[in-house]
Every structure is written in structure tokens, then in C-alpha cells.
């Protein structure tokens, strides 16, 4: 089987852009504008947020409220809720976006690929057969079939 790497050249805007001085994940939980911040669900110890710079449409993240950077710092109850919410995200993406597969994982530390290394967060990236074609690879253009706001409106009721 041929490997299909995820190419995300449009993320350069995030990589080279001005970063928030404070923690994005902490700021979002303090604000009440869930739609503006793309927060889909708030649990007791963790929450679900859409990625503003997604690898694929529907790219979700689950983050604890507590500002921690390492998995071993997570309290058992919060770790459990993160996994329950991750499981919910997987079900929602399969149901609402017909995801054929999912990439789920943590990038723990900058060297591991974490662009926001200060605050632990789980990535859930929906995948479809052929979701990487010539456009992002050759033209550095990503075809996003749905705007973030429309994806939010599609997913929000499921949470």
C-alpha cells in the first residue's frame, strides 16, 4: 500500500504568523464566544475545539482546561475525559462528515511536531481516500470543500 503523507502548506500562515502572547487554549476557555473560537463542546475537565489551521476539514482537538504540557501531568479523571471526548469526536466525524479513517494523536514537545507545546491537546484528523491530491503538493493550494463556520454548524449539534 502506498503511503499518503499529510501535506499542509497553507499552515505556513500559522508557522510564520504572529503568535499569541498568552496560551491560545487557556484564552479560549476564559472567553464565552464559543462559535468565534470554534469551541464545539465544554466538558467538566476538557473541551473540544476545531483547528483554525486544519490538516483536513473537520480537524478537531481535545484539550484539558488545566495548563499542562506533558501527558504524565494529566490527572486520571482529566485523562479519562480527554479519551471519552476523543472517542466522541471520532464518532461525530464518521457520522457527520463520513470520515473513512482518522488520525488521532498527541505531539508532546516541539521536536515531536507540537506547534503549541505549552498546552497538551489531542488531534483528531478525519481522512478520506484520495484526500491528498496534486493541489496541495504541486500548487500549494488546499481545496477545502467547506468553510470553518459551516463545518462548525455541522458538528456543533452532535455535541
List, by residue number, the catalytic residues. 121
Strand runs labelled E in the chain: 39-42, 46-50, 60-64, 101-106, 122-127
Length of the chain measured in residues: 159
Q: Quick one: which of 67, 27, 32, 31 has its CA closest to 46?
A: 67
Q: Are 126 and 56 in contact (CB under 8 A)?
A: yes
The cell numbers describing 114, all together, are: 507540537
The rounded distance, in Å, linking the Cα atoms of 28 and 56 is 22
Amino acid at each position: 500500500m502506498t503511503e499518503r503523507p499529510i501535506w499542509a502548506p497553507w499552515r505556513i500562515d500559522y508557522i510564520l504568523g504572529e503568535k499569541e502572547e498568552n496560551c491560545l487554549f487557556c484564552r479560549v476557555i476564559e472567553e464565552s464566544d464559543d462559535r468565534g473560537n470554534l469551541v464545539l463542546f465544554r466538558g467538566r475537565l476538557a473541551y473540544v475545539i476545531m483547528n483554525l489551521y486544519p490538516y483536513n476539514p473537520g480537524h478537531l482537538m481535545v484539550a484539558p482546561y488545566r495548563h499542562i504540557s506533558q501527558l504524565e501531568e494529566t490527572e486520571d479523571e482529566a485523562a479519562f475525559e480527554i479519551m471519552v471526548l476523543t472517542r466522541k469526536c471520532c464518532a461525530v466525524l464518521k457520522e457527520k462528515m463520513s470520515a473513512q479513517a482518522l488520525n488521532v494523536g498527541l505531539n508532546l514537545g516541539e521536536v515531536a511536531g507540537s506547534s503549541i507545546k505549552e498546552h497538551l491537546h489531542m488531534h483528531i484528523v478525519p481522512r478520506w481516500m484520495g484526500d491528498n491530491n496534486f493541489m496541495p503538493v504541486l500548487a500549494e493550494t488546499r481545496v477545502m470543500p467547506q468553510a470553518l463556520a459551516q463545518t462548525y454548524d455541522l458538528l456543533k449539534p452532535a455535541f
